[in-house]
Structure 1
Amino acid sequence: MHTTTSQPARAAAARTAVRWRQRLAAWCAGASALLAAPWASAEVPAIFRDADLALGEQLIRQHRCAQCHADKVGGDGSAIYRPQGRINTAGLLRGMVEQCNSALNLQMWPEEVTAVAAVLNRDHYRFKD
């Protein structure tokens, strides 16, 4: 008996395969730079020490985070980053990225959420251990 896979199931499988290929490509591209970077220093919160910054940068571009933030707060969107505001720890920053991931159905894996949060920490928040 011949079984067929439904079109939605095939589309879901294709999206998963694309995501895995993207993750692998991003990891390969950023692995050597990440290993040599001073990011692994003790001044980085433990939650971000193994984060793939290249992947985080790619995901920020891919999901158009800056555009969404600009739509919410105006300007270039950077006003959304308030280090003295309610996001005052690395864990809360990662939690906020997870909230965006869930609310917008971005379907990012946990390590991808951490990568995005690590980039935001590096560029805007600068939380230490």
Structure 2
Amino acid sequence: MNTTLSTTSAATEAQFGRRVAARLSAGTQDLPHEIGERLRAARMQALARRKVVRVLQTAPAVVPNGGAAAFGGGWWTRIGSVIPLIALVAGLIVITTLQEDNRTDELAEVDAALLTDDLPPAAYTDPGFAQFLKTEATAQR
């Protein structure tokens, strides 16, 4: 199986190389003699430096169907894939709940401060009044 893939790959590479060489050689008649000679010398250098590729044949790996092999796949992989997703969703739910609780506590403190203070009605419409109450509540702690 590996030999067939390697042979097919090598044949495809060789065919591609022949096509590229034919394309490059097609326009060389229109070039000046000096440029053509430089290209010929560059081709010779490239051919001298090319790598010889050896195809290694490997035997298929045999994994025993036992306890140690079960960790490499099967239901352990599925559990390992699902656990981080569950942890992420649980963490997002906890963060959202905590933020909602904090926001509710802040609003409750502002409402309690508004209801227990004696202020003129115009003070309730002031945009900076809620910020003032928050800073006062923080300073009293």
The answer to whether TM tops 0.5 is: no
Structure having the higher Rg = 2
State the TM-score, normalized to the length of structure 2. 0.26
TM-score normalised per structure 1: 0.28
Larger relative helix fraction: 2
